[in-house]
Amino acid sequence: MTPALPGRRVPTPADVVLVGPPGSGKTTVAALLCEDGSSEVVDTDALVEQRAGCTVAELFATRGETHFRELEAQAVQEAVRGTGFSAAPGRVVALGGGAVMTPRVAEELRRFAADGGHVVWLQVGAEAVAERLAGGDRPLLAGDDALARWQQLAAQRESTWAELATQVVDTTGRPPHEVARIVAERTRDEDVADRWPLGPRSGLRVAVSTSEGGDAYPVTIGHGVLDDLALLLPATGAVPPAALVVHQPGLEPVVERVRAVLEAAGTPVHVHGIEAAEAGKRLEGVAGIWEACAAAGLDRGGLLVAVGGGACTDVTGFAAATWMRGVDVVHVPTTLLAMVDASVGGKTGINTSAGKNLVGAFHQPRAVVCDLDLLAGLPVQDVRAGLAEVVKCGYIDLDEVDGWQILDRVRAGAEHSADPREWPFLAELVHRALRVKARAVAADTREAGVREFLNFGHTLGHALEKVEGFALRHGDAVAIGMVFAAALGQEHDLWPGTDEVRGLLTSVGLPTRYEGSATWEEVRVAMAGDKKARAGALRFVVLEEVCRPATLDAPDEALLRRAWEAVRA
């Protein structure tokens, strides 16, 4: 990464809270983020000293740590909420190293993150911190063995920092200006909470923009957030004069909720059902939607709403891209797979006898609402299948902003319950996976570069779906495909992590071996029709290491066969 030039101003961030151990540079970085005066910096230790009329060290000595933590928690709450501070458009808060261990502070940061704020964990290694600690006035690090004490405290607090952080930046070996620039670049997204208001049930938000310009759109994640649709429509444009809700079988109760929301906003609603799963993604399926659009009198001001899984969002999105040469679409995904993959990013398409999604268009939705309550009636294996796309995002997060946390949470989830719906951090996982995808879409909307990395596991996965007549779940096929891709990379002397990928996927109940009857020759032919192929040569996404995806063109046929053997039952 190119260091910032001395004196160079960094972009003004949105509201940010910096957490991390003593010596990580929180106070210095906060000051740099606010050096142009458009944001306000708040150091909670300084705030406590101001209120107490003495230094933190003196406060520890005279009143003890418990009293200090009480004052600190009050200072954090005031700083994060802005009570008594100026109305500057941004506010950067530097927390003391141990503040997060106070339950009241941790809860305040969870609320802050849920409202769209950024909690940035500044990491630093022990080897880099010794010089920074020299001559410091930190009461918990007093004495001759300050570094050993620092390591002990960091170990105790690390899991809490990891849980609360929405961004992680390693400061080791980086000058403060560069750290500030990285933090600013990762936190300067739009204030989604202000632009697209949340409903009373609240939720998490991701703003998705494109590399082609135009307005960003909101993705809302949470329990009971379907009613947010009533808030999103006025906030994202004019209320449409007519809407067509396209849905898969068995989702009539959800359709009625959507109908009620739209009609309450003054939009007449028409309803059209399609076949389940991939059967609805044929030319006949999209033609049926076009006919329904005509019957509903849907003009260019109209709205399509997809209620269903990934196949439904794919075909409805394609219909929206082509009806009247483009109308608005809102996605209400009802499967975990659709929430973290198909509904976001603007890829639309239908299947042909030649392959999956070969006919399609890029057409971004106006909004996406991921209501986790809609997962309640699904078979558990369908929910697990969605985790394949979550795990994929963990392995290919080139920015290393969310990837490691995704993988850690999935491991923790596997130990917590066999049903992902029972994981207390499922909303966070969906949020992090969507942030990975949103960054790729923002950088490379039409998949000419880094967005290709989202295809990790998909070259073989799509081929397996085709040879199985689309009877194999997409997530299951991608899980097998990720093991294949990891093995292929390992055969090319890249990251030797095939067993790690297999183990993680197995732990959450996903298949890692193909048990069907198709031969390698049949699968090889199916892969040759993949959209990512170039000049007839196969193209795979592989891993140089975790969060270091790469593309591999025209791999050796012998190595392809060896990778295939790694996923054969």
118 is in an annotated binding site: no
455 is catalytic: yes
φ, ψ dihedrals at 304, nearest 5°: -100, 140
CA distances from 109 to 101, 122, 130 (A): 11, 15, 28
389 in active site: yes
Q: Is 97 annotated as a binding residue?
A: yes
Distance CA 148, CA 246 (A): 61
117 is in an annotated binding site: no
Active-site hit among 259, 435, 474, 539: 474
Task: Answer yes or no: is 322 a known binding residue.
Answer: no
Measured distance CA(318)–CA(419) in Å, rounded: 32
Confirm or deny that 138 is annotated as ligand binding.
yes
Q: Does the annotation list 63 as a binding residue?
A: no
Query: Is 551 annotated in some ligand binding site?
Result: no
Catalytic: which of 437, 439, 466, 473? Answer: 437
281 included as an active-site residue: no
Two structure tokens written together for 207: 């703003």
Catalytic annotation present for 357: no
Residue 348 is labelled as binding a ligand: no
Residue 172 among known ligand-binding residues: no
Sheet holding 243-247, edge to edge: 204-208, 217-222, 367-371, 328-333, 303-308, 243-247, 269-273
Spot the catalytic one: 447, 452, 465, 491.
Answer: 447
Residue 104: active-site member: no
Active site residue 186: no
- Give the active site residue among 205, 462, 466, 539: 462
Q: Tell me which H or E stretch contains 545.
A: strand 539-545
Using alpha carbons, select from 454, 478, 512, 473 the residue that is nearest to residue 309: 473
Contact by Cβ (8 Å): 488, 552: yes
Among 389, 452, 465, 491, which one carries the catalytic annotation? Answer: 389
What are the residues whose beta carbons fall under 8 Å from the beta carbon of 127, sequence distance 6 or more?
Answer: 172
CA atoms within 13 A on the CB side of 418: 6
Query: Does 384 belong to an annotated binding site?
Result: no
Q: Is 28 assigned to a binding site?
A: yes
Catalytic residue of the set 455, 465, 491, 502: 455
Is residue 515 part of the annotated active site? The answer reads no
Known binder of ligand: residue 90? no
8 is catalytic: no
- 69 annotated to bind ligand: yes
27 is in an annotated binding site: yes
Active-site residue flag, 458? yes
Q: Is 186 annotated as a binding residue?
A: no
Q: 11 CB contacts (<8 Å, ≥6 apart)?
A: 181, 184, 185, 188
Which residue in 118, 247, 347, 432 is the catalytic one? 347
- Please provide residue 512's backbone torsions phi and psi, each rounded to the nearest 5 degrees: -125, 5
Q: Which residues contact 185 (CB under 8 A, 6 or more apart)?
A: 11
325 is catalytic: yes
Indicate the pairing of strand 355-362 with strand 347-352.
antiparallel
Q: Which tokens go with 413?
A: 């989830």
> β-pairing, 204-208 with 217-222?
antiparallel
Answer for the pair 116, 193: CB distance below 8 angstroms, yes or no.
yes
Instruction: Report whether 310 belongs to an annotated binding site.
Output: yes
24 marked as part of a ligand binding site: yes
Catalytic residue among 366, 451, 473, 502: 451
Instruction: Confirm whether residue 23 is marked as ligand binding.
Output: yes
Catalytic-labelled residue, pool 186, 247, 439, 458: 458
Q: How far apart are CA 480 and CA 494, in angstroms?
A: 19
| 352 assigned binding-site residue | no
137 appears as a binding residue in the annotation:
no
- Concatenated DSSP letters of 23-43: TS-HHHHHHHHTTTSSEEEEE
Annotated binding site: 23-28, 45, 69, 97, 138, 157, 174, 310-314, 334-335, 347, 356, 389, 458, 474
Annotated binding site for Zn(2+): 389, 458, 474
Annotated binding site for substrate: 45, 69, 97, 157
Annotated binding site for ATP: 23-28, 138, 174
Annotated binding site for Mg(2+): 27
Catalytically active residues are: 325, 347, 389, 437, 447, 451, 455, 458, 462, 474
